[in-house]
Structure 1
C-alpha cells in the first residue's frame, strides 16, 4: 500500500475570489507545501475511483512535499465548488478528513470580474457585451444551449458562471458529505479589506504560526488587465502555464519577469467600466434567494447586498 503524502487542505472555490493570491501567500509559509501547480483539478479530470492508482496520480503534484516536514499540504482548484456532491464524495473517499476552504465573493461582482478576466485573456469573443453574455448564460441554464448566432461555446465551461454564484446550492452538498467541521467559509471582501488579518486568521484555523505574516509583503496576484497585443498575451499565458511547475515556487524569479511583461504588454488604464444599474439590479434579484440560504448555512450575515 502506498504511503505517499496527499493534501490535508484544499482551496475549493470560488473562481475570481482571490484564490490565486491566497494560494501564493500560503505557499510561502514555512509550514505549508503547495502543489506543483495551483489548480490540479485532480478530482474533476483524473480521479478514477481506484485508490492506489489515484494516490500515485495525485501525489505527483506533491512530489516536492514528500520528504518535507510541512504540517499543511495544499492545492487550490476553485472549480471544485460548482461540482458539489460528486467532488465532495471523491475527496472524502481518497483523503478522509481533509479541510476545505471556500472563499466567496459578492456573486454580482464575481461574475462581472470573471467576464472581464475571460475577455481580457481572449477566451470570450471580442466585442461580446456583458448583458449578451448573461443572456447566453441564462439560456444555457434553462436549455443547455451552447451555440448562439455568431457564438459557439461548445467545449467550454464559460456559460456556467451565472449559476456558480448560487453558492448555497453547492455548499450544502459539501456540508452533507464532509461535515461542518471540515469546511471553512471566508469572504473575498474581508480579504481585500485586510489581507494580513485574513491570512493570520486562516493560519489559526490551520494550526500554523500566524506571525509569519506580521511583516510579509503582499504582492498583487492574478489581477485582470487588458493586453495591448492579444496574440502576445495568449503566448505569455501558454508559457506561464507550461512553466508553472517551475516558477510557482520561485517567486523571486517570477516576479521580475511578470513585472517586465506587464510593462511591455499591459495597458496603463486599470480597472473596467462600472456595471449598468439595471444589470446590477437584475443580478441582485437573481441571487437574492441564494443569499438568504447562504446566510442560513453559515449562521451569520453576508458582506454584500442582493
Structure 2
C-alpha cells in the first residue's frame, strides 16, 4: 500500500470531476472524514457532501447528465484533489464502480468500514431520525422486518430503510471495488475515528501525498439523535436538505444552529440493544466478517480491528 501518484483531476469545458471519492459505508463515519478533509487547503470538497450522482446505478438506473455532477464542484480553484462522499455507492458493487472508473479515471477511493452490529443499530436509529420508520418501533421488530423482506424487494431504493442488515455484508462488495480500483483504493475503519482521528488523518494525508494539516477540531460529526416534536423535526430536515450547500460554507454557523435545534427539539435515543440480540447479530455477520478479513489480508491489510480477527 505504497503512496501512489496523485490522480489527475478530470477537467472538461464545463468544470471538473472529483479525483477523491469516499464511497462507503453508510453510518461508517464518512461525514466526519469528509469534514476533516474539507478543511485541507489542497482538497476542494463538493458543495453538498453526498452528491449521489452514481447512486441510480445501484438500483438499476442511469446517472443524470454529467453537467449536473459538475455543479457540485464549482468552488474548485487550483486544489490537488476534488472530493465528494456518497457512502451508498459501496453496495453498487462492480457495475457502479466500473462506471465511476470510466468517468473519473484512476480516482482515489476511500472506504470506511464499521463493526456491522453497531453500524446496524446506528442505521436503525438514523432511519427513525429521518422519519422513515416509526419512532415507536423497537429494534428486535426492525430486525424481523429486515429479514422477512425478500432480497429482490429489499434491494429496491424504496425499501432502503430496511436495508440495515444487508448493509453490513461488506464481503459481498469489497472485492468488486478492489478489482475495479486495484491501485487506488484504501480501506479505513470507524474504530480509527473513535480511537485516534488525528492518526487516521495522518495516514490519509500520507496516502494522498499532501501535507499533514490537522484541523482545529476533530469531533465526530453527524451523530444521530431523536426528536421531541415530529412536525418541527420534519421542518428541520427539509431546511437542512435545502440549505446544506450554504451551511457548509459557514461551519461555525451550522454548528451553532444545530446545537440550538438539539436544545429545543432534540433528545437522546433511549433504547439499548440486548445482549441476546447482539449475540444473534454477531452470529449472522460472522461468516461475512471472516470472508472480509481474508479479502483484506490478500490486499496487504494486517492491522485490522478486533471484529475482523476471530478469537484464538
1:291 is matched with which residue?
289
Structure 1 runs (4+) greater than 2 angstroms displaced? 1-4, 45-50, 141-146, 153-156, 270-274
Q: Alpha-carbon deviation of 1:8?
A: 0.4
Q: Alpha-carbon deviation of 1:154?
A: 8.3
Q: How does 1:83-94 map to 2 (within 5 A)?
A: 83-94=92-103
Q: How does 1:137-152 map to 2 (within 5 A)?
A: 137-142=146-151, 144=153
1-side partners of 2:63 and 2:27: how far apart?
A: 30
2:257 maps to 1:257: yes
Matched residue of 1:69: which SS? coil
Q: With structure 1 as the length reference, what TM-score do the two structures score?
A: 0.88
Q: Is the 8 A contact 1:168 1:290 kept in 2?
A: yes
Q: Alpha-carbon deviation of 1:121?
A: 3.0
Matched residue of 1:175: which SS? helix
2-side partners of 1:48 and 1:126: how far apart?
A: 34
Aligned counterpart for 1:32 among listed residues 43, 50, 53:
43
Q: Alpha-carbon deviation of 1:142?
A: 4.8
Q: Deviations over 1:145-197 (max 9, x none)?
A: 79xxxxxx982311212111110111111112221x11110000111111111
Matched residue of 1:101: which SS? strand
Structure 1 residues 145 and 217, CA gap change in structure 2 (3 angstroms)? closer
Q: How does 1:216-235 map to 2 (within 5 A)?
A: 216-235=216-235
1:133 is matched with which residue?
142
The gaps in structure 1 that reach 5 residues or longer are: 147-152
1-side partners of 2:151 and 2:12: how far apart?
A: 45
Q: How does 1:134-283 map to 2 (within 5 A)?
A: 134-142=143-151, 144=153, 155-179=158-182, 181-210=183-212, 212-213=213-214, 216-267=216-267, 270=268, 272-283=270-281
Matched residue of 1:17: which SS? coil
Q: Deviations over 1:191-247 (max 9, x none)?
A: 11111111121111111111x20x622234211111121211111111011011111
Q: Is the 8 A contact 1:32 1:73 kept in 2?
A: yes
The gaps in structure 2 that reach 5 residues or longer are: 1-10
Aligned counterpart for 1:107 among listed residues 100, 110, 116:
116
1-side partners of 2:62 and 2:26: how far apart?
A: 25
Q: Is the 8 A contact 1:141 1:160 kept in 2?
A: no
Q: Is the 8 A contact 1:295 1:301 kept in 2?
A: no
How many residue pairs get aligned? The number is: 290
1-side partners of 2:236 and 2:135: how far apart?
A: 19
2-side partners of 1:156 and 1:72: how far apart?
A: 34
1-side partners of 2:203 and 2:286: how far apart?
A: 28
2:6 is matched with which residue?
none
